[in-house]
Amino acid sequence: MVSKEYAMSELGLTKEEYKKLKKWHKKVTGPSDDPFRFGAIGGEITFHITPTSLGSIIEAECFGKTKTLRGLD
């Protein structure tokens, strides 16, 4: 799971969007006591950021499932 600091500073997520990501990630991956299950460079979550003239769309993908964190609503 990406750290809160990184998600907010580098990806531009808000606190609410990060909470949404964290809840969805736990639902997709399930509980685990192994913090090293995905390797040294992570890779479990892929972020898709699509810039538009109205703002950016931010989606997260994990294990083939996608969650929209920020849309154009």
Give 15-39 pLDDT, tens digit per residue.
999 999 999 988 988 876 555 566 6
Burial zone of 13 (CB within 10 Å; 0-12 exposed, 13-18 middle, 19+ buried) = buried
Side chain identity at 24, as an amino acid letter? W
Average pLDDT over residues 36-47: 71
Task: Give the global pTM.
Answer: 0.81
Model confidence at 44, pLDDT cuts 50, 70, 90, reads confident
Higher pLDDT, 28 or 49: 49
